[in-house]
Amino acid sequence: MNIAVWIIQGLAALGFVYSGWLKAFQYESAKKSWGWVSDVPKAFVVFIGLAELLGAIGLILPQATNIAPVWTPIAAAGLAAVVLLGAIFHVARKEYREIGVNIVFFALALFIAICRF
C-alpha cells in the first residue's frame, strides 16, 4: 500500500507543479489555457500557483526525508481544499467541463491525506 501511496503522491505532485508553475510564473500561458484566469486578479492567480507549488513540495519532501512527515498529509489536505474551492468556483461560473480535473485532484489529495495521517 505504501508504494501505491507514493505513486499517487508523485502523480499528484507533478500535476500540482504543472498547474502551479503556469499560474505563478507563466501567467500569459495560463490565460491561454484557462479562460477563468482572465477574470481573476493576476495577484490571486499567482498566489494560487505558489500555494500549489508549495503544496506539491509538501506532498513529497517531508515524507521522503522523514523530517516532520506530518506535513505531508497537512499539505495534501490543504491542496484538497484549494481544489475543492476551485470546483465550487467553476460551478458558480457554470464551467462544468472544468470540474472533472478538480474532482480527480481532490480525490488524489484526499486519498494522500487519509493514508498519511
Q: Positive or negative, the Cα torsion across 11, 13, 16, 22?
A: negative
Which tens digit of pLDDT belongs to each residue from 25-36? 999 999 998 989
**Over the stretch 92-115, which tens digit does the pLDDT of each residue have?**
999 998 899 999 999 999 999 999
12-66 pLDDT tens trace: 999 999 999 999 999 999 999 898 999 999 999 999 999 999 999 999 999 999 9
Q: What is the pLDDT of residue 98?
A: 87
Instruction: Output the pTM of the full model.
Output: 0.93
Helices assigned H by DSSP within the chain? 2-25, 27-33, 42-65, 71-92, 99-116
- For residue 1, name the pLDDT band (cuts at 50, 70, 90): confident
Q: What percent of the chain is modeled with pLDDT above 90?
A: 92
Could you state, in order of their start, the residue ranges of all structural domains in the chain? 2-116
